[in-house]
Each structure stands twice: as structure tokens, then as C-alpha cells.
Amino acid sequence: MSTSTEDFFNELGDQYDQVIRRCVPQYAEMLESMMDYLPPKLLTRIARDQASVPALKILELGSGSGNLSSIILDRFPESKLTVVDSSEKLIAVVKSRFGKRIHHYQKTLFQDLDFKDNSFDLIISSISIHHLNDDEKLQLFKNSRQWLTPNSPLAFCDQFRGETDAIYQKHLKNWKTSSFELGSNEAEWEAWMEHQEAHDFHSTIRTHFDLLEKAGFQSIDCTRRYLLWTTMIAM
């Protein structure tokens, strides 16, 4: 990743939250819905007597301003959550929101992350992995498989390409209409598209299935799709 992606999110800083809600239609619904598809064993584990069950260890990749972190902490209040992001400004926003409720904050590129095998019971991410090209995605998926305890899930939602260019272009057109309905405008849209052109790597659902399979994941499924935004889970 060039430093410009970091600059882009650092510059958004305090504005990030309002911008993302205007520029990602059905943002809140998408984040909530991802949690609904997590395996019941994770939820039953927190429902049992906490004293006898070790805390769930969760890794969030690309925390932004902490909107997914907030949902994770609501669902898994006793978990040990590690959040990773390359933007110092956004890590600071998350720290000011959650303080010690988050176990560990890490300002690192996904490409440079290094955890011990079996470190996490869940790896989760929203709208962040598309900043990696396909080779980098594959490496991150391979690493994630090593970092996860056996049979634990990787769950993420992100921006995906359409299988045909016509479908992709239609998604982009409908996305613009939805964003304007949510209060965005031509200048904001242009800035977003400029960032997308330079730094985003939208791949198809098929490519994501292939990469996850190559990385050794099984039981891969797509649990939600709205325009570009697709949610996947893999064990």
C-alpha cells in the first residue's frame, strides 16, 4: 500500500464516520448481519460460566473509527479484542471511544502483521481487505488460517467486483444514486472515486472463493450481497 491510503484515512480522521455512513449504503445493516452468521458455538461459549471458559480472542482487521469494534464489544463483552489499522488518526479515534475495553491496539499494515499460530478464535473485518491486491489478499488469508484456532471463522464484508463489467458498472451507478440519497454530493463522490481508482482492488466473489480455498479454508459461503458489498464467512 502506498502512503496515500494512510493519508486518505488520516485526513478523513474525525469526519470518517459521517462520510462512511453517506458513502456505504446499508452500512449498519451490513455490519449487524455479519454477526448473525457467526457460528453459534462462539455465542454459546460466552453464554456459559465465564470463570471456567477462557475469553474469546478476536482480531479485527481495519477498525476505521470503530463501528464494527462497537458491535463486537456488544456481542462479546468479555472478549479480548485486538484491532489493527494503518491509520494513526483512526486508531486514536477508536482509543478515545473504547479505551481499555479493547485489549490491544495495533497500528500496522495488514501486510506486516505477525501473530503466533492459534492466536484467535475469530478474525473479522469490514470494508478493509479490498485495499490489498489479490496476491496480498491470498497471503493475508493464509496467515489468518494460521492465526486462527482450529475450525474458527474468518468473517468479512467488503467491496467486490461484479462477475461481468456490465453488472459492476450497474452497481457503481446504483451506489452513486444511493449515496446521494444519503446526503453525499459530487465533490465527495469524486474524492471517493479518486481514492478507489488509485488504491482499491475490487475482486469478484469467484476470486475470493478461489483465494480462500487456496489458503486452506473450507465451508466458504457468501452470506449477504448488496451492490458491491458482499459478506463472506470461511472456516
Interacting residues with ligand SAM (CB under 6 A): 1, 5, 9, 20, 62-64, 67-68, 85-87, 90, 109-111, 126-128, 131
Q: Which is nearer to ligand SAM, 9 or 217 (CB)?
A: 9
Q: Which is nearer to ligand SAM, 25 or 62 (CB)?
A: 62
Tell me which residue has its CB nearest to ligand SAM: 64
Q: How far is it between the farthest Cα atoms of the chain?
A: 55
CA distance 87 to 8: 9
Q: Which is nearer to ligand SAM, 128 or 152 (CB)?
A: 128
Helix axes 27-36, 16-23, angle to 10 degrees: 90
Q: Least Å distance between CB 203 and ligand SAM?
A: 15
Q: Which is nearer to ligand SAM, 27 or 217 (CB)?
A: 27
Q: Least Å distance between CB 44 and ligand SAM?
A: 26
Q: Least Å distance between CB 83 and ligand SAM?
A: 9
Q: Least Å distance between CB 128 and ligand SAM?
A: 4
Q: Least Å distance between CB 195 and ligand SAM?
A: 9
CA distance 88 to 6: 8
Scored b (16 or more CB within 10 A) or e, 106-142 reads: eeeebeebebeeeebbbbbbbbbbbbbeeebbbebbb
Q: Which is nearer to ligand SAM, 44 or 133 (CB)?
A: 133
Asked whether 102 and 78 are in contact (CB, 8 A), the reply is: no
Q: Least Å distance between CB 6 and ligand SAM?
A: 7
Q: Which is nearer to ligand SAM, 82 or 128 (CB)?
A: 128
Asked whether 163 and 206 are in contact (CB, 8 A), the reply is: yes
Q: Least Å distance between CB 136 and ligand SAM?
A: 8
CA distances to 30, 218, 235 from 91, rounded to whole Å, are 22, 32, 28
Half-sphere exposure at residue 164, Cβ-oriented, CA atoms within 13 angstroms? 3
Q: Which is nearer to ligand SAM, 128 or 144 (CB)?
A: 128
Asked whether 61 and 182 are in contact (CB, 8 A), the reply is: no
Residue listed under C-alpha cell 481508482 = 197
Other CB atoms within a 10 A radius of the CB of residue 65 amount to: 26
